[in-house]
Amino acid sequence: MRKKIFFTPGPTQLAPKASFFIKKAIEDDIGSISHRGEIFKKIFKEAIFNLRKILNLPETHEIAFLSSSIEAMEVIILSMVKKKSFHFINGAFSKKWYLMAKNLGKESDYFEFSQSNSILNAKITKKPELLCLTHNETSIGMMVPMDEIYQIKKKYYDIPLALDVVSSFPYPKIDFNFVDILFFSVQKGLGLPAGLSVIVVNKKYSEKTSGGFHDFKSLFSKARIFQTPETPNVLGIYLLAKITKEIIKKNVEQIRKEIDIKSNLLYNYFSSSLIGRPFIKEFCYRSKTTIVIDVGNRTDFIVKKLEKEGFIIGKGYGQYKENHIRIANFPQHTISMIKKLIGIINKIEKSF
Amino acid sequence: MRKKIFFTPGPTQLAPKASFFIKKAIEDDIGSISHRGEIFKKIFKEAIFNLRKILNLPETHEIAFLSSSIEAMEVIILSMVKKKSFHFINGAFSKKWYLMAKNLGKESDYFEFSQSNSILNAKITKKPELLCLTHNETSIGMMVPMDEIYQIKKKYYDIPLALDVVSSFPYPKIDFNFVDILFFSVQKGLGLPAGLSVIVVNKKYSEKTSGGFHDFKSLFSKARIFQTPETPNVLGIYLLAKITKEIIKKNVEQIRKEIDIKSNLLYNYFSSSLIGRPFIKEFCYRSKTTIVIDVGNRTDFIVKKLEKEGFIIGKGYGQYKENHIRIANFPQHTISMIKKLIGIINKIEKSF
């Protein structure tokens, strides 16, 4: 059987060397080593070192690990918010974060934005303790320009800002003068098996506590000695250390350029395709990493045709399940893979 | 280099077929499949099915997954306890659970027990909402006989009882008439890479909510449709499904018998060894799965000697770091491995 290529928004195609490193992990007894021992600490340190380099992270911020981005959302709310957070909502994942805060008993507020109603129009009153923003809304393929995010932070400079880059990392080049908290998962742009997420917190806030075993205080007091409060996903952290090294080798700037090239290829194709049109019309809000195309009600047809050729793409999210297709454009998706995908979609188009 | 054998209390020696299944997972694209798709649901269902069989779990209880046992401890406290839990403490891990409840703002109580002061001596007043008990205290190698646990539950029949079997599963045969909540991790007696834990909850309690994304209500509403609230450790759940099938094939009763045989071999050896004596004197409280030996101040010497031969054992826990050695006796440790280990220890003894 032909090996499949996954263009799903995540879990997705693994990084080219992921399988190699998984096999190496078995040889190196990574599944058996103690999470309190020196070998583990070295792996943890290496992962942090590489991530700092990729993020170009200043000394003002520190890094720790959690199990999922949903956990990161909760840990952030619990650690940072006593009464009220403020959420910018434009789709399922940003909404999930808001609802999570409400479920946790917070009196949170939100501003609903879209490609025709920018986050800059939000009026934030009754000073919240935290601003929550999702950089790339995977559910609809909308990405907020970093500059708009910085403008928000400049306007509300004394309110900490938490940014979800779950499905955009490592694409955005982030100025950490304007971002206090950041998180992402490994099963998207890093191309690793799911079960691990990364959280970055400004040291101003990393002593905050809610009493939970994963609150900032507990998490970072351990992270500073290259440890975790629990027995963590050791294999996941090992793979993260290895894959981030590969990213540094390749050069993250080069990766960003390629993501631009590949997203241009896709958007150009769909600008005049019978298959469908990009769901997001405003160019500046179109996601570079999750290309969402409105295909009428032909989602199933297209997804199945592509699957037959070994190309796995995502269906629409939630209400758009039957009307959208979603194509991930992560570092592990090469230009040649994207060109092949477009070729097959073009064949499907011609069969119409 | 000779392949090491890990007798550490966990993470520890992987199950014999773990490496095989990890490689198979790569072939089967387990790192790329969607956690919302049918393949994942089938894997989830299979893992649950196998665990139910191993636990001989009645229909009164249901199963879900978390990321670690520390997370399970927290989720249990948050879901079950508004004001007060009651903890039986005899070592580091049972104490951690109690301190966690206190950190979360609960007015929890405890009873400190030992081999000379049984849990049956506890006086539980001002009715707590939950009894918390650690079956096998890995820190000191003490295991509570199931019968004592059942007696506690019979005495306080209307208070739910949560049992930590993190480092004893699958050894104890559990009567779920007396155990309401149970949890364990995969990196101990299942011999899998860390990053996943299993929680079992009586349906009487599985609707309880704290508002968290992993509270019982959220967790089990997803588990019932073979899903998780977050993107989970898909690879971990896949490996769990595979390894539990192996356990069923071998027969869990046979595994329990072998654990008895192996622990007898170890305790018999240390009953007259110059190396040291079992830390727990009372036979009925000696752990079958974590054999802790008081070796004076020779821990480092013994651990290093064994390491040279490829046998990795645990040092003492906390205050006993320099005075104890800890030897795990899990299903993946064969009789022949244990005999070899004893042989090497015997050689070390003769060099004294």
Task: Dump pLDDT digits (tens) for B79-99.
Answer: 999 999 999 999 999 999 999
Between CA B191 and CA B248 the distance in angstroms is 15
Residues from chain A contacting residue B19 (CB–CB below 8 Å): 26
**Residue A3 confidence (pLDDT):** 86
**Residue A133 confidence (pLDDT):** 98
pLDDT over 70 (residue A39): yes
How many alpha carbons lie under 13 Å from residue B219 in its C-beta half-sphere?
A: 30
Residues from chain A contacting residue B69 (CB–CB below 8 Å): 230-231
**Residue B3 confidence (pLDDT):** 86
Grade residue A43 by pLDDT with cuts at 50, 70 and 90: very high
Calculate how close chain B gets to A120, using CA atoms only, in Å.
30
Which 3 state secondary structure label does DSSP give B232? coil
Residues sharing a CB contact under 8 Å with residue B5, sequence separation 6 or more, in sequence order = B13, B310, B311, B312, B333, B337, B340, B341
Calculate how close chain B gets to A177, using CA atoms only, in Å.
30
Quick check: pTM over 0.95?
yes
Residues from chain A contacting residue B23 (CB–CB below 8 Å): 23, 26
Are A8 and B32 inside 8 Å of each other by CB?
yes
Question: Which among A342, A280, A267, A288 is positioned nearest to A311, based on CA atoms?
Answer: A342
Range A290-300 average pLDDT = 96
Residues from chain A contacting residue B68 (CB–CB below 8 Å): 67, 230-232
Range A112-141 average pLDDT = 96
- CA A93 to the chain's CA centroid: 11
Are B31 and A11 inside 8 Å of each other by CB?
yes
pLDDT over 60 (residue A314): yes
Grade residue B277 by pLDDT with cuts at 50, 70 and 90: very high
Question: Is the complex ipTM higher than 0.90?
Answer: yes
Which helix H or strand E contains B6, and what residues bound it? strand B5-6
Residues from chain B contacting residue A67 (CB–CB below 8 Å): 67-68, 71, 195, 230, 233
To the nearest 10 degrees (0 to 180), the angle between helices B252-270 and B335-350 is 10
**Residue B1 confidence (pLDDT):** 55
**Residue B2 confidence (pLDDT):** 65
pLDDT over 80 (residue A1): no
Task: Dump pLDDT digits (tens) for B162-171.
Answer: 999 999 999 9
**Residue B187 confidence (pLDDT):** 98
Pairing mode, strands B197-202 and B181-185: antiparallel
Grade residue A2 by pLDDT with cuts at 50, 70 and 90: low
Task: Dump pLDDT digits (tens) for A207-230.
Answer: 999 999 999 999 999 999 999 999
Pairing mode, strands A142-143 and B130-134: unpaired
Between CA A92 and CA A271 the distance in angstroms is 25
For residues B206 and B223, is the Cβ–Cβ distance under 8 A?
no
Between CA A303 and CA B304 the distance in angstroms is 57
Between CA A211 and CA B78 the distance in angstroms is 11
Of A348-352, B280-284, B337-341, which gets the smallest average pLDDT? A348-352
Task: Dump pLDDT digits (tens) for A183-201.
Answer: 999 999 999 999 999 999 9
**Residue B126 confidence (pLDDT):** 86
- For chain B, give the percent of residues with pLDDT over 70: 99
Residues from chain B contacting residue A6 (CB–CB below 8 Å): 29, 32
What DSSP line would sit under A31-97, residue for residue?
A: TTS-TTSHHHHHHHHHHHHHHHHHHT--TTEEEEEES-HHHHHHHHHHHH-SS-EEEEESSHHHHHH
Range A151-177 average pLDDT = 98
Are A71 and B105 inside 8 Å of each other by CB?
no
Range B243-266 average pLDDT = 98
How many alpha carbons lie under 13 Å from residue A109 in its C-beta half-sphere?
A: 14
Are A233 and B193 inside 8 Å of each other by CB?
yes
Grade residue A96 by pLDDT with cuts at 50, 70 and 90: very high
Are B195 and A195 inside 8 Å of each other by CB?
yes
Are B11 and A195 inside 8 Å of each other by CB?
no
For residue B64, the cross-strand partners are B199
Task: Dump pLDDT digits (tens) for B101-134.
Answer: 999 999 999 999 999 999 999 999 889 999 999 9
**Residue A15 confidence (pLDDT):** 97
* Single-letter amino acid, residue B126: K
Range A38-54 average pLDDT = 98
Residue with tokens 């241009």: A264
Which 3 state secondary structure label does DSSP give B44? helix
Which of A230, A313, A330, A332 is best to mutate for the B interface (most B CBs within 10 A)?
A230
Out of A4, A70, A231, the one facing B213 most closely (by C-beta) is: A70
How many alpha carbons lie under 13 Å from residue B282 in its C-beta half-sphere?
A: 12
Are B232 and A74 inside 8 Å of each other by CB?
no
pLDDT over 90 (residue A351): no
* Single-letter amino acid, residue B178: F
**Residue B171 confidence (pLDDT):** 98
Tell me the three-class secondary structure of A174-215, residue by residue. CCCCCCCEEEEECCCCCCCCCCCEEEEEECCCCCCCCCCCCC
pLDDT over 90 (residue B222): yes
Count residue pairs from A and B with Cβ separation < 8 A.
157
Residue with tokens 């009428």: A296
Between CA B105 and CA B325 the distance in angstroms is 36
Task: Dump pLDDT digits (tens) for A129-148.
Answer: 999 999 999 999 999 999 99
**Residue B352 confidence (pLDDT):** 79
Out of A10, A31, A73, the one facing B14 most closely (by C-beta) is: A31
Question: Which among A23, A57, A61, A62 is positioned nearest to A44, based on CA atoms?
Answer: A62
Task: Dump pLDDT digits (tens) for B39-56.
Answer: 999 999 999 999 999 999
* pLDDT mean across residues, chain B: 97
Residues from chain B contacting residue A193 (CB–CB below 8 Å): 30-31, 233-235
Which of A14, A95, A218, A231 is best to mutate for the B interface (most B CBs within 10 A)?
A231
Out of A11, A35, A229, the one facing B231 most closely (by C-beta) is: A11
Are A231 and B30 inside 8 Å of each other by CB?
no
Residues sharing a CB contact under 8 Å with residue A147, sequence separation 6 or more, in sequence order = none
For residues A275 and A295, is the Cβ–Cβ distance under 8 A?
yes
Calculate how close chain B gets to A214, using CA atoms only, in Å.
9
Residue of A nearest to B314 (CA): A34
